[in-house]
């Protein structure tokens, strides 16, 4: 469906809705509807049955007043992997808030992998981000989100601005994970020992359907960062990896290494990295 672009004085409005089904041979994109500048490339099948999708935001960044919404539904037995070709960017604004809402629904026997590249918050950006994953009882999920505060390589620190981020996972309407983060450019939490310890990058990787053996496998890998920390824990069948780092690349590489270990255990497939990660 062709995009109908709406640019108001307050910002862009963009919405993308995707549906995936298994046709007996492989996962296919059964539904796609977009409004405004939020689209996808064609489906890719580098490993046969699973469907790889690259999400695109043609403007290249989000400014104050923009509102982006993503809805994804993965039907029974389908397997979808979604990623992005580049880092997401939230630019500085005049205290006008940019909003990103992402909703994922995964049916029994289906798999969802949500593996976007990092999100960069420019100094003096004002952002609200919400991600919700709804799983049926036998659904499986692996996903991560990485947040970069400022652009230290360009000498820009996150000394102004604010971000409210909520990430939640439900299984049959019962909450498994609910996390809310509020960051302000001048907050002590950015630099204190009990907070981010001066790190510019923070991230969480979560896998639902894990076990103690998966936890031990990730721990045995001894994923280390030269500057930063990587931790992993297990709550029931939810595996939670966290990273603090000074740069995005080592944090992303730590999550990729963890994913390469977790995926064969949960989804019973060896990791097949999207080609866009190497371009």
- Tell me which residue has tokens 């976007």: 116
pLDDT in tens, 211-228: 999 999 999 999 999 999
Neighbours of 173 (CB within 10 A): 7
pLDDT in tens, 90-104: 999 888 999 999 999
Interaxial angle between packed helices 212-220 and 248-266, expressed in degrees from 0 to 180 and rounded to the nearest 10: 140
Q: What is the mean pLDDT of residues 235-254?
A: 96
Q: Is 88 exposed, middle or buried (CB count within 10 Å of its CB: 0-12, 13-18, 19+)?
A: buried
Above 90 in pLDDT, residue 130? yes
- Nearest CA to 63 out of 91, 102, 44, 25 is that of 91
- Return the sign of the alpha-carbon dihedral for residues 182, 186, 187, 188: positive
pLDDT of residue 155: 79
Above 50 in pLDDT, residue 59? yes
Task: Give me the chain's average pLDDT, please.
Answer: 93
- Token digits of residue 157: 């620190």
- Return the sign of the alpha-carbon dihedral for residues 259, 260, 264, 267: positive
pLDDT of residue 187: 86
pLDDT in tens, 61-71: 999 999 999 99
Above 60 in pLDDT, residue 253? yes
List, as one string, the DSSP characters of 140-205: EEEEEEEEEESBGGGTB---S-EEEEEEEEEETTEEEEEEEEEEETT-GGGTSTTTTTT-SEEEEE
Contacts of 89 (CB under 8 A, 6+ apart): 60, 61, 62, 119, 120, 122
Rounded distance between C-alpha atoms, residue 69 and residue 61, angstroms: 14
- Tell me which residue has tokens 């996972």: 169
Q: What is the mean pLDDT of residues 66-91?
A: 96
Above 50 in pLDDT, residue 2? no
pLDDT of residue 118: 96
Above 90 in pLDDT, residue 171? yes
pLDDT of residue 3: 36
Query: Would you place residue 186 in the very low, low, confident or very high pLDDT band (cuts 50, 70, 90)?
Result: confident
pLDDT in tens, 242-251: 999 999 999 9
pLDDT of residue 60: 83
* Cβ-contact 63, 98 below 8 angstroms: yes
Above 80 in pLDDT, residue 4? no
pLDDT of residue 248: 94
Q: What is the mean pLDDT of residues 189-210?
A: 92
Residue 72 three-state SS: strand
Spell 180-218 as b/e; 16+ CB within 10 A means b.
Answer: eeebebeeeebeeeeebeebbbbbbbbbbbbeeebbebb
């Amino acid at each position: 469906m062709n995009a109908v672009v709406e640019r108001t004085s307050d910002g862009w409005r963009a919405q993308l809705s995707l549906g995936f089904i298994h046709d007996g041979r492989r996962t296919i994109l059964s539904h796609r509807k977009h409004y405004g500048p939020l689209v996808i490339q064609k489906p890719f099948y580098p490993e046969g049955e699973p469907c790889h999708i690259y999400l695109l935001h043609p403007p290249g960044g989000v400014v104050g007043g923009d509102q982006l919404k993503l809805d994804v539904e993965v039907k029974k037995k389908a397997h979808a992997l979604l990623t992005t070709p580049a880092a997401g960017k939230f630019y500085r604004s005049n205290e006008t808030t940019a909003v990103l809402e992402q909703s994922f629904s995964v049916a029994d026997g289906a798999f969802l992998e949500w593996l976007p590249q990092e999100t960069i918050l420019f100094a003096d950006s004002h952002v609200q981000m919400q991600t919700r994953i709804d799983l049926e009882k036998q659904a499986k999920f692996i996903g991560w989100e990485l947040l970069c505060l400022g652009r230290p390589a360009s000498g820009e620190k996150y000394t102004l601005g604010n971000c409210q981020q909520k990430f939640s996972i439900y299984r049959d309407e019962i909450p498994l994970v609910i996390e809310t983060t509020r960051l302000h450019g001048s907050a002590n939490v950015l630099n204190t020992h009990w907070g981010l310890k001066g790190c510019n990058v923070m991230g969480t990787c979560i896998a639902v359907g894990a076990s103690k053996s998966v936890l031990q496998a990730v721990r045995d890998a001894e994923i280390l960062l030269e500057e930063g920390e990587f931790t992993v824990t297990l709550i029931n069948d939810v595996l939670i990896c966290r990273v603090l780092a000074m740069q995005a690349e080592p944090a992303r590489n730590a999550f990729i290494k963890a994913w390469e270990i977790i995926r064969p255990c949960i989804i019973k497939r060896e990791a097949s990295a999207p080609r866009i990660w190497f371009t």
